[in-house]
């Protein structure tokens, strides 16, 4: 399978327009500058800044085609689109000749000296305005040197009919330092990375243009959107990389997907290695440290890890940010951070390739493993098998997802697999971090792995709705914990108490009831539940309250307090039927649990009678093969066997 090639400079105007999304306002700004060209006002030259694959050439190509349309309608604008790889522009003379080459016909330009070439260009400009499209502008300006930049500045000052729209992969010193000739001549326009939502928009346009109906339909599914968000931290938000990952949405064979990723990453690696070679050893060391970190780092922490002086690191980080290697981390928690403490991360996450390729030493490439871990579930990886070229890339994500291979036996002994204990610990770390953010301290959030922090930011949104996220974390931990373990269960009860004290809401109180019941602190759970009905009339009938009451009933049963379990289940079953209806699954389940409670309390006859009635209802409502029906039937058969055995 060949990866998609997305090369805007070779596409037709119609195709480029069809694929263009998200950045319409930026294109409108550029075209406003083009339309003002020749008005007599000094033009506003623009520099598009973004990493490789950010969409710079797409924008430049659209400016070219739209300007040609204006020219065809009589605007009188001519265009010089310089070569994307400007290897032959090694002086100011060569730059002027490259511009002239697109503007004049049938002339032997190569024989012109610098002064003659400039005079020829001035004559062309007298006839009408000119738009110069200068990709990789940093390379062009480095080629002409400082003296050439001074002459270019003089030309731009003297010629209001000349507009330059350039692009660069990095914001280099030649455009930002005040002592450089072209300082202030270009308005910098940064191409921000696509959000996952914007990536879906782009991929939908790409699918439509390619007639890829499978991809278009897949993008409409919640599962595809979840996958895109999960791997967003790997793509770095660059459109060209999202185009690659879009192919992965419809790749059915794991071998094909691994090959697809390896080919694309292999193509990218020399680019990053070449860029690294232009950095000083100290700058490379700092980039390497951030490449190996799974979270953004402030200057102080970078200095600690690298053992380089903090002032030196601060200056280096500023330089690396200016050159496009690093960027300040954008987060919804920014206002809760110390403003003197900026966190930095790689501007291009795939720059890690330059380090991982050398460090892999024959082992699976970590970026591919990370992608597969985020893209597939454990069941999907097992189904894919472990044969062919994808075998090592299948096995490692499975180890990551499933944890230690002793998890199975340990689960039977402890009700909690060893491989899942870290997930419970991480849930606790996340809840503690969000509690700190609630108090105004977001630094613990920034210490979380980037993927976790980004997921939190997505869930919380710009409004920072933390309480629903924290309730979900407590629910997940409750599900993962199984049979309570000290001190873990005690720590989680404290977290539930903390949330309830902060929020004092129905949801937080019910969550506290569930955790108290899970920790077998039954009297406290019952007392907390009693306050719900008093403070909020009718609250005990809410679905969340019914779940909490069912949890308390289960806890009574597990603690051997069977009579209390019977009374609790009777109340839950009655209220479920009244609130949800007799045929609701929760009603049927609570009645089945009540039958079990009767049996444990010694009333086998009542248990068999109720279980038989529940079986009839589940068969009628859910069907004979529904899992709930099978469970009830199994319970009834067990009860009858016990009765028969006792009678014998």
Mean per-residue pLDDT of the chain: 83
Is the pLDDT at 172 greater than 50, yes or no?
A: no
Residue range 195-220: average pLDDT?
Answer: 85
Please check whether residue 167 is in contact with residue 134, taking contact to mean a CB–CB distance below 8 angstroms.
Answer: yes
pLDDT, residue 352, reads: 80
pLDDT, residue 294, reads: 79
Neighbours of 401 (CB within 10 A): 16
Residue range 269-273: average pLDDT?
Answer: 82
Please check whether residue 549 is in contact with residue 516, taking contact to mean a CB–CB distance below 8 angstroms.
Answer: no
Burial class from Cβ neighbours inside 10 Å (0-12, 13-18, 19+) for residue 108 reads: exposed
Q: How far is CA 377 from CA 55, 222, 401, in A?
A: 32, 15, 8
Q: Quote the distance between the C-alpha of residue 145 and its chain's center.
A: 41
Residues counted in the chain: 648
Please check whether residue 485 is in contact with residue 414, taking contact to mean a CB–CB distance below 8 angstroms.
Answer: yes
Neighbours of 562 (CB within 10 A): 17
Q: Beta partners for 344?
A: 297, 328
pLDDT grade, residue 85 (50/70/90)?
confident
pLDDT, residue 639, reads: 87
Please check whether residue 617 is in contact with residue 588, taking contact to mean a CB–CB distance below 8 angstroms.
Answer: yes
pLDDT, residue 347, reads: 84
pLDDT grade, residue 380 (50/70/90)?
low
pLDDT tens column, 484-493:
555 678 899 9
Is the pLDDT at 274 greater than 50, yes or no?
A: yes
Please check whether residue 595 is in contact with residue 614, taking contact to mean a CB–CB distance below 8 angstroms.
Answer: yes
Is the pLDDT at 4 greater than 70, yes or no?
A: no
Q: How close are the terminal C-alpha atoms of the chain, in Å?
A: 70
pLDDT grade, residue 138 (50/70/90)?
confident
Give me the helix-helix angle, 506-518 and 466-481, nearest 10°: 20
**Residue carrying the six token digits 């990709």:** 135
Q: What is the pTM of this model?
A: 0.73
Q: Which residues contact 398 (CB under 8 A, 6 or more apart)?
A: 378, 381, 382
How would you classify residue 363: left for phi > 0, otherwise alpha for psi between -120 and 50, otherwise beta? beta
- Please indicate whether residue 259 or residue 576 has the higher confidence score (pLDDT): 576
Query: Residue 383 and residue 380: Cα distance in Å, rounded?
Result: 5
**Strands, E, within 78-198: which ranges?**
78-81, 130-134, 162-168, 186-190
pLDDT, residue 523, reads: 93
């Amino acid at each position: 399978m060949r990866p998609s090639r997305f090369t805007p400079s070779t596409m037709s105007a119609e195709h480029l327009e069809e694929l263009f999304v998200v950045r319409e306002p930026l294109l409108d700004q550029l075209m406003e500058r083009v339309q003002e060209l020749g008005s007599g006002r000094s033009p506003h030259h623009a520099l598009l800044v973004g990493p490789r694959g950010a969409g710079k050439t797409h924008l430049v190509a659209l400016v070219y085609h739209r300007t040609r349309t204006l020219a065809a309608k009589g605007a009188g604008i001519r265009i010089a689109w310089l070569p994307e790889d400007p290897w032959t522009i090694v002086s100011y003379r060569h730059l002027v000749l490259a511009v002239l080459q697109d503007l004049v016909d049938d002339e032997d330009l190569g024989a012109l000296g610098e002064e003659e070439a400039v005079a020829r260009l001035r004559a062309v400009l007298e006839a009408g305005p000119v738009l110069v499209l200068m990709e990789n502008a940093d390379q062009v300006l480095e080629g002409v040197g400082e003296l050439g930049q001074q002459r270019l500045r003089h030309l731009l000052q003297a010629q209001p009919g000349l507009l330059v729209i350039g692009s660069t992969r990095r914001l280099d010193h030649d455009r930002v330092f005040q002592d450089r000739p072209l300082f202030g001549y270009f308005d910098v326009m940064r191409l921000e990375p696509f959000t996952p939502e914007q990536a879906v928009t782009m991929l939908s346009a790409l699918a439509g243009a390619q007639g890829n109906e499978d991809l278009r339909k897949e993008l409409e599914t919640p599962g595809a959107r979840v996958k895109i968000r999960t791997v967003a931290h790997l793509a770095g938000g660059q459109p060209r990389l999202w185009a690659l990952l879009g192919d992965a949405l419809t790749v059915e064979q794991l071998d094909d997907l691994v090959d697809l990723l390896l080919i694309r990453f292999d193509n990218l690696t020399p680019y990053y290695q070449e860029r690294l070679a232009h950095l000083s050893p100290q700058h490379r060391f700092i980039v390497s440290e951030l490449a190996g970190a799974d979270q953004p780092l402030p200057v102080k922490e970078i200095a600690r890890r690298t053992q380089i002086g903090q002032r030196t690191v601060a200056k280096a980080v500023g330089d690396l940010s200016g050159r496009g290697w690093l960027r300040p981390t954008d987060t919804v928690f920014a206002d809760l951070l110390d403003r003197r403490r900026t966190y930095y991360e790689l501007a291009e996450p795939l720059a890690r390739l330059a380090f991982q390729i050398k460090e892999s030493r024959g082992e699976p490439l970590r970026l591919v493993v990370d992608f597969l871990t985020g893209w597939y579930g454990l069941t999907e990886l097992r189904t894919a098998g472990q044969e062919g070229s994808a075998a090592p890339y299948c096995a490692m994500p499975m180890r990551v997802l499933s944890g230690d291979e002793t998890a199975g036996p340990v689960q039977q002994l402890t009700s909690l697999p060893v491989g899942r204990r870290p997930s419970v610990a991480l849930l606790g770390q996340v809840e503690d971090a969000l509690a700190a953010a609630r108090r105004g301290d977001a630094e613990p959030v920034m210490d979380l792995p980037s993927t976790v922090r980004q997921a939190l930011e997505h869930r919380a949104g710009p409004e920072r709705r933390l309480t629903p996220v924290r309730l979900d974390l407590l629910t997940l931990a409750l599900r993962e914990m199984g049979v309570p373990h000290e001190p873990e269960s005690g720590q989680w009860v404290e977290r539930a108490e903390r949330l309830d004290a902060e929020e004092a809401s129905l949801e937080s109180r019910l969550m506290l009831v569930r955790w108290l019941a899970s920790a077998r602190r039954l009297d406290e759970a019952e007392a907390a539940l009693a306050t719900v009905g008093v403070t909020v009339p009718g609250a005990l009938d809410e679905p969340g309250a019914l779940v909490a009451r069912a949890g308390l009933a289960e806890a009574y049963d597990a603690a051997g307090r069977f009579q209390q379990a019977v009374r609790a289940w009777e109340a839950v079953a009655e209220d479920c039927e009244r609130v949800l209806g007799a045929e609701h699954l929760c009603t049927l389940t609570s009645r089945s649990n009540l039958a079990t409670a009767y049996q444990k309390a010694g009333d086998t006859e009542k248990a068999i009678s109720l279980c038989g009635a529940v079986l009839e209802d589940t068969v009628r409502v859910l069907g004979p093969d529904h899992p709930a029906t099978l469970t009830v039937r199994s319970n009834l058969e067990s009860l009858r066997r016990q009765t028969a055995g006792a009678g014998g």
